[in-house]
């Protein structure tokens, strides 16, 4: 069957799917009812996947726990976060940085400790080499001020990701890393020196390298045009937008970050992947 506007030949080459999490496979604490069937479909087709998230409030162990409680499979190798992207950046580009002042959760700090970094707390005599800002869901005013103090004195100012709010299914607004950085920029007159996470294409390139993939074998699937879809374009991989999260069809018409494919949800994508292989 011919599907106008859908490149089934391109879909037939896909060996690995990079999946945004919140808004794509679940919403807040609620798993979409179609998600388990989608993963069953991938397993039958021998298509591998990586969970990808900008949310740096949890570490890999905590994400695995959440996924397992939802009934989803996963190993540490299946997850790549903005925290890990930041660590990879430091290890490859800033080997001079060893001591960190981190404005973030204990889970985020644990991720950096496990990678060999010393975490400088607000009362320590040690001077940090850099300030890392993450999604701090336990934000303490005194720590915010200390981060500003070191930023004002010229320490490298690094953000794990640019998101200003975090999606939630609860009646509240979750102030995210980008908004915290905006407050610090207003107070210090300095913007972050670098912002990691989506849409930085390095997140995709790392997955490609670790899994020995070619760009045309990879899809990036997500619900945000300005992070997921922009990153896919910058990384040179197929960009698939799902309408189960933030972006709506009218947003696509108004955006310069046009996806290669728009689907209602990952269930529809799964059906297209099956169809693409049945045509071969």
Given this model, what pLDDT does residue 254 score?
Answer: 86
pLDDT band at 1; cut points 50, 70, 90? very low
Token pair belonging to 50: 């990586």
Tens-digit pLDDT profile for residues 226-269: 899 999 999 999 999 999 998 998 999 888 889 999 999 999 99
Cα 263 → chain centroid? 20
Greater pLDDT, 173 or 280: 173
Per-residue pLDDT at 3 exceeds 60: no
Q: Can you give the C-alpha Rg of the chain in angstroms?
A: 19
pLDDT in tens, 96-146: 999 999 999 999 999 999 999 999 998 888 999 999 999 999 999 999 999
Distance CA 187, CA 146 (A): 12
* CATH level 3 topology of 8-54+199-278: Rossmann fold (3.40.50)
pLDDT of 55 strictly over 80: yes
Predicted confidence at residue 136, as pLDDT, reads 97
66-108 tens-digit pLDDT: 999 999 999 999 999 999 999 999 999 999 999 999 999 999 9
pLDDT at residue 202 is higher than 70: yes
Which pLDDT belongs to residue 5?
A: 66
Mean residue pLDDT across the chain: 93
What is the spatial distance between Cα 156 and Cα 136, in angstroms, rounded to a whole number?
Answer: 19
CB 242 within 8 A of CB 266: yes
Q: Helix axis angle, 177-188 relative to 141-152, nearest 10°?
A: 50
pLDDT at residue 120 in the model: 97
Q: What is the pLDDT of residue 193?
A: 98
Instruction: Please give the helix or strand (H or E) that residue 120 lies within, else none.
Output: none
- Residue 264: the pLDDT is 95
Query: How high is the pLDDT of residue 28?
Result: 81
The pLDDT, as a whole number, for residue 115 is 96
**Are 8-54+199-278 and 94-195 equal in CATH topology?**
yes
Place of tokens 């300030």: 131
Give the C-alpha separation, 59 to 77, whole Å: 13
The predicted structure's pLDDT at residue 2: 45
Nearest to 46 by CA among 68, 16, 11: 16
Residue 48 confidence (pLDDT): 96
- Residue-wise pLDDT for 157-194, tens only, equals 999 999 998 877 789 999 999 999 999 999 999 999 99
Contact call for residues 276 and 44 (beta carbons, < 8 A):
no
pLDDT of residue 34: 96
Residue 280 has a pLDDT of: 64
Contact 133, 157 (CB under 8 A): yes
If one counts every other C-beta atom within 10 angstroms of the C-beta of residue 239, the result is 23
pLDDT for residue 113: 97
Sorted by where each begins, the domain ranges of the chain are 8-54+199-278, 94-195
- The distance of Cα 127 from the centroid of its chain, to the nearest Å, equals 30
The pLDDT score that the predictor gives to residue 109 is: 97
User: Does the 94-195 domain belong in CATH 3.40.50.1000?
Assistant: yes
């Amino acid at each position: 069957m011919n599907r106008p506007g859908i490149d089934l030949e391109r879909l037939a080459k896909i060996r690995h799917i990079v999946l945004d999490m919140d808004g794509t496979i679940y919403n807040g604490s609620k798993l979409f009812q179609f998600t388990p069937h989608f993963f069953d479909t991938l397993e039958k087709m021998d298509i591998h996947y990586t969970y990808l998230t900008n949310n740096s409030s949890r570490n890999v162990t905590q994400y695995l726990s959440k996924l397992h409680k939802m009934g989803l499979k996963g190993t540490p190798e299946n997850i790549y976060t903005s925290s890990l992207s930041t660590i990879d950046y430091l290890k490859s580009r800033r080997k001079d940085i060893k001591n960190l002042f981190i404005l973030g959760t204990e889970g985020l700090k644990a991720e950096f400790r496990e990678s060999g970094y010393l975490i400088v707390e607000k009362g320590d005599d040690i001077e940090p080499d850099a300030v890392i800002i993450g999604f701090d869901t336990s934000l303490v005013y005194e720590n915010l001020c200390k981060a500003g103090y070191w930023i004002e004195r010229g320490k490298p100012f690094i953000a794990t990701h640019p998101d200003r709010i975090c999606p939630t299914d609860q009646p509240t607004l979750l102030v995210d890393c980008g908004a915290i950085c905006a407050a610090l920029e207003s107070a210090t007159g300095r913007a972050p020196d670098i912002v990691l996470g989506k849409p930085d294409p390095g997140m995709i390139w790392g997955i490609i390298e670790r899994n020995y993939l070619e760009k045309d074998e990879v899809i990036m699937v997500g619900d945000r045009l300005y992070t997921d879809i922009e990153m896919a374009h910058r990384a040179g991989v197929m960009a698939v937008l799902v309408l189960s999260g933030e972006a709506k069809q009218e947003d696509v018409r108004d955006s310069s970050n046009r996806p290669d494919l728009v689907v209602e949800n990952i269930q529809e994508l799964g059906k297209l992947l099956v169809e693409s292989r049945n045509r071969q």
